[in-house]
Amino acid sequence: MKIKDVNLEDRPREKLQRFGVKALSNRELIALLLRSGTKTHSALDLADHVLAKSKGLLGLSQCEIQDFMSIDGIKEAKASELCAIGECARRMAFEASQGVSVIDQPQRVIHWLQNEIGHCMQEHFLVVFLNTKNHIIGYRPLYVGGLDRSIVHPREVFKQAVAHSAARILVVHNHPSGDVTPSENDFMVTTVLEEAGQTMGIPLLDHLIVSKQRYLSLKEVLRKD
């Protein structure tokens, strides 16, 4: 069905003007951003394909331009715009977390981290830099791929911490499977970084594992043991 075949009051642009942007569904928002469809696919049809490819709005920031261009009817220009939208959403989520205390508002921090890497299909390892009040002052992605002690070098982690004038750090990685149960390597990486942090005078506050909907603190697990 083409947009012109949809009742006027149900078309995304007209619906927005009449009821406001919050009245639009996810597919209608994407269709509005795409602006037009093709001879065979309406903007709403393309929006459905985009959301299927990204597995929802949160996944937009994880898609590359090639992912969007693999959708029939989406060329480089529209794919670039979708990538830009996803990146804007990712940066907005980080800006909302800056200055947030990981101690006083842990759920806001977890929400940001899940948005950042919880949907990734590969493991990503991040270092989050904190000031003396445990407020977030920055972060840096360091590694992509399987996490083990051989690739997570304390020297690189704490080099970045010093460069960001961090008082302490939080390290985070995701489990694409959705199961946040820590592996033996996860525990070893935590121990190595904790010891290096004590030597450097930049303590490791915690090592978190996140997925789309779950998270785990390795420090809490180690304390219980």
Read off the pLDDT of residues 159-216 as tens digits, 9 standing for 90 and up. Answer: 999 999 999 999 999 999 999 999 999 999 999 999 999 999 999 999 999 998 899 9
**146 — pLDDT class (breaks 50, 70, 90):** low
Residue 87 has pLDDT above 70, yes or no: yes
Q: How far apart, in whole angstroms, are the C-alpha atoms of residue 210 and residue 180? A: 6
Mean pLDDT (the chain, rounded): 88
Poorest-confidence range of 7-16, 33-42, 161-170, 195-204?
A: 7-16
- For the domain spanning 3-93, the CATH number is 1.10.150
CB atoms within 10 A of CB 192: 16
Which residues, 6+ apart, have CB-to-CB distance to 143 below 8 Å?
123, 124, 125, 151, 152
Residues carrying CATH 1.10.150, the chain: 3-93
**Structurally, what CATH architecture does the domain formed by 98-224 represent?**
3-Layer(aba) Sandwich (3.40)
Six-digit token string for 80: 């670039």
| Percentage with pLDDT > 90 across the chain | 58
- In 51-135, the DSSP E strands lie at 124-130
The pTM for the full model equals 0.73
Six-digit token string for 109: 């921090």
Residues carrying CATH 3.40.140.10, the chain: 98-224
Whole-number pLDDT of residue 191? 93
Q: How far apart, in whole angstroms, are the C-alpha atoms of residue 73 and residue 45? A: 10
Q: Which residues pair with 12 in a beta bridge?
A: none
